A = this chain, B = another copy of it.
Amino acid sequence: MLHLVGLGLADETDITVRGLEIVKRADRVYLEAYTAVLLVDKEKLEAFYGRPVIEADRELVETGSDEILAGADQADVAFLVVGDPFGATTHTDLVLRARELGIQTNVVPNASIMSGIGCTGLQLYNFGQTVSMVFFLDNWRPSSFYDRIRENVQIGLHTLVLLDIKVKEQSIENMARGRRIFEPPRYMTVAQCAQQMLEVEEDRKEGVYAPDSLAMGAARVGAPDQKLVVGTLTELAEVELGAPLHSVVLLGRRTHDLERDYIRQFAVNEATFDASYAKYYGKSS
């Protein structure tokens, strides 16, 4: 059987009891290590599980899935996914491939950033579609997120923005030469995201949001040192929230007073928060 086991958001103790039992008795254990990361390394997981963990990079999952699934009609294979197995990244491909091979599957859910972001105090009911923000390059500044945010803004809903991570990336030179040398991992920060959002509004000038629109920054959701802030995009572009992973939520105008009362404690500056809030938010339609 193929078991897809969610690991939750922060560290090795965020696995569920059900998930841990599966990991302990599985014949092989893989860790999906390219779309999200825990705040602890593989060695710590191995020590906690009392067994070896095989790192599964994008290549292995996307083109070598038969290696992962080998023998899983008889043996138990655990495939560990940070967050939830069907959360921000879904592993439906792997499940479909398993079915084709006549291998049964079992999913163990866990917290995902898509629901964990509720820790901000913003109601999950008031979120529209989630968008992703990638690291801009000089000649590549995709702004499709801006159109999606507009759709949420028109309805008055919040937008969760998931931030790019670059793990096991090769430089163009190393790729061209076939050298398996990888760049250090990079994780987009709340400040970088806010900065890129401001740049795109500056380019496109369609008024989807403004420099004084309010957004929340969340760092290390679910960890003991989780950090939340709320401020204008201009303020967030300067904020420093420490280690990854970070996420951003752009507020929608339908923000409820109960949400305001909760998030205000995280304001970078209460005066600018109150000014922006009065200007744009708490509108019921």
Q: List 19 A-B contacts (CB under 8 A).
A: A13-B17, A13-B18, A14-B18, A17-B17, A17-B20, A86-B120, A88-B124, A88-B125, A92-B121, A92-B262, A96-B261, A112-B118, A114-B114, A115-B115, A124-B130, A125-B131, A127-B129, A128-B157, A151-B155
Q: Does A116 contact B (CB under 8 A)?
A: yes
Whether the pair B15, A119 counts as a contact (CB closer than 8 A) is: no
Task: Determine whether A109 belongs to the interface, using a CB cutoff of 8 Å to chain B.
Answer: yes
A221 on interface, CB distance cutoff 8 Å: yes
Q: Which residues on B sit within 8 Å (CB–CB) of A126?
A: 129
CB A5 to nearest CB in B, in angstroms, measures 12
Instruction: Tell me the chain A residues, 1-28 only, with Cβ under 8 Å from chain B.
Output: 6, 8-9, 11-18, 20-21
Q: In whole angstroms, how far apart are the Cα atoms of A92 and B123 in the complex?
A: 10
Q: Evaluate contact between B130 and A86: CB separation under 8 angstroms.
A: no
**Within the complex, what minimum Cβ distance (angstroms) separates A94 from chain B?**
11
Complex-state Cα separation, A125 to B206, whole angstroms: 23
